[in-house]
Amino acid sequence: MPALSPTMTAGNIGAWQKKVGDSIAPGDVLVEIETDKAQMDFEFQEEGTIAAILRDAGEKDVAVGSPIAVLVEEGEDVSAFEAFSIEDAGGDKKPDTPSKEGDASEASEPADTGSKTAPPAKEESAPAAIESESTGDRLETALQRQPAVSPAAKKLALEKGVPLGAIKGTGKGGQVTKEDIEKYKPAGGASTAAGVPAATYEDVEASSMRKVIANRLTQSMQQNPHYFVASNISVSKLLKLREALNASADGQYKLSVNDLLVKALAVAARKVPAANSSWREDSGKVVIRQHNVVDVSVAVSTPVGLMTPIVKNVNGLGLQSISSQIKDLGKRARDGKLKPEEYQGGTITISNMGMNPAVERFTAVINPPQACIVAIGTTNKVAVPGELTEDGTPSIEWDDQIVITGSFDHKVVDGAVGGEFMKELKKAIENPLELLL
């Protein structure tokens, strides 16, 4: 099991893209793996032939470094590995599952941790009883585990309340697809026992990614002393600039409000570098790292949880490039196709819920080890005083405004500095021509 992110300690096996006997070349996808961040394709970097698959699709919490498959050189005898097990590869034995009639105490005995260094020869087959027991383990594991599920199918299943364990996947490698969820029909005629009410809830096992999100954000709230600064900001000029730029684009690009806000965030971060810093502790040494470039993490909602793909060196990018990267990163985040280097790191974060008209404002949790995240609310029309009329009374004009709330880590950013950052952000947004410089 490869470590596909710095925080990954275990992963779940998704659909295998290769089977025993298949050749594999550098860059080929071997298997889908659900990490602590996303469901990813594991691209193999060597060539050879798959001799054995040691972990079935759907197995969960497989430790990093644990063997999952056997690769041999082209032309080697694959049949010699038919009875090859995880123990033979130096991994931990799968826990035995006791039969209904069996003694439960037998299953609680510690697994044999001995390992062999070479596969058994063809003519030295294992005893029939042992082979049967191993086969039974694999079959029962396959029946009990949850199937591999695509992110879109998982989201739809949660919305419809469909039990994933009751569905036989028709996708590649037995993966449950969105179409499988849509076609699912519960077995008819089922009824609850007299006097026993039907369950009013369903327990859904937390994914590896959901556990990591929970741990990181809980850690952030406990270890980072948050404070919040909110500001009402006019976006009337910014909206007019966006409209003018899109009108002259000849279909080459289409800027969103968020694209311009990401650029404005980078402008403010360069002027107040404390907001573009992070708290670091290493080997007893504590430093505040001030970053020389602004890498903006953009919060994206995906079927499996919140992800923050990174637009790197935003100050060195034009609006068209920023827009293109945000669209591409967002799509691949929702499809579970991001590479680790595309979501690990970042120096400051933006979370935008402005597309939801019900969200006037909100506060966001800091994305550690960063020191700042800004939360964007929806656009509202606000009556403001206009020019004086003939009788000397001010007229009323309508201004498009948003509320932006900055969350700051007080270990790194003092209150006055956080206020200064919000002032520079407000200035950049309300004078958007500065974003074109």
Query: Is the pLDDT score of 252 beyond 70?
Result: yes
Q: Which residue in this structure is represented by tokens 């032939």?
A: 49
Query: What 3-state class would DSSP assign to 89?
Result: coil
**C-alpha distances in Å from residue 201, one per residue of 147, 158, 197, 422:** 21, 12, 12, 44
* Spatial separation of the C-alpha atoms in residues 69 and 48, rounded to whole Å: 12
Q: Which of 23, 41, 98, 31 is nearest to 67 (CA)?
A: 31
Across residues 326-331, what is the average pLDDT?
Answer: 96
Q: Provide the token pair at 286.
A: 């504590």
Q: Determine the pLDDT at residue 25.
A: 86
Sign of CA dihedral 429, 430, 436, 437: negative
Q: Evaluate if residue 179 carries a pLDDT over 50.
A: yes
pLDDT bucket at 196, cuts 50 / 70 / 90 = low
What pLDDT is attached to residue 129?
37
Q: Where are the beta strands (DSSP E) in 98-225?
A: none
What mean pLDDT do residues 319-332 have? 96
Per-residue confidence (pLDDT) for residue 316, from 0 to 100: 94
User: What Å distances lie between residue 283 and 9, 222, 277, 280, 291, CA to CA?
Assistant: 21, 21, 19, 10, 21
Query: In the predicted model, is pLDDT for residue 333 greater than 80?
Result: yes
- Angle (nearest 5°) at CA 339 between 219 and 321: 100
% pLDDT > 90, the chain: 43
The DSSP bridge pattern shows strands 394-409 and 226-234 to be: antiparallel
Per DSSP, 101 falls in state S
Res 187: pLDDT: 62
Q: Kindly state the average pLDDT of the residues 121-138.
A: 40
Four-CA torsion 258, 263, 267, 272, nearest 10 degrees: 50
Residue 262, token pair as written in the block: 């990401």
pLDDT over 80 at 261, yes or no: yes
Which region among 18-22, 191-195, 292-296 has the lowest average model confidence (pLDDT)?
191-195
CA-to-CA separations, 44 to 24, 48, 112, 321, 399, in angstroms, rounded: 8, 10, 30, 31, 55
Among candidates 352, 320, 347, 354, which has minimal Cα distance to 435?
320
Q: What are phi and psi of 426, to 5 degrees?
A: -60, -40
The answer, yes or no, to whether residue 301 has pLDDT greater than 60, is yes
Q: What is the mean pLDDT of the chain?
A: 82
Tokens standing for residue 265: 């965030």
The arithmetic mean of pLDDT across residues 34-62, rounded, is 81
CB neighbours (10 Å) of residue 165? 11
Helix (H, G, I), strand (E, B) or coil at 169: coil
The C-alpha atoms of residue 74 and residue 95 are separated, in whole angstroms, by 33
Look at residue 42 and tell me whether its pLDDT is greater than 60.
Answer: yes
Q: Which residues does 44 contact at the CB level (< 8 Å), separation at least 6?
A: 24, 26, 27, 28, 29, 30, 71
Average pLDDT of the residues in 93-111? 46
Q: How many helices (H) and strands (E) does the chain have?
A: 9, 18
Mean pLDDT of 407-419: 97
**Predicted local confidence at residue 185, as pLDDT:** 76
Q: Is the pLDDT reported for residue 2 higher than 90?
A: no
Q: Token pair of 172, please? A: 């590649």
- Angle among Cα 110, 212, 375 to the nearest 5 degrees reads 170
Please determine, for residue 309, whether its predicted confidence score (pLDDT) is greater than 50: yes
Question: pLDDT at residue 122 above 80?
Answer: no
Instruction: Please state, in angstroms and rounded to a whole number, the distance separating the CA atoms of residues 164 and 154.
Output: 8
8-17, 89-98, 177-186, range with the lowest pLDDT:
89-98
Longest dimension (CA), the chain: 107
Q: What is the pLDDT of residue 198?
A: 65
b/e sequence 31-70, b meaning 16+ C-beta within 10 Å: bbbbbbbbbbbbebeeebbbbbbbbbbbbeebeeebbbbb
Count other Cβ atoms within 10 Å, centred on residue 117.
7
325/118: higher pLDDT: 325
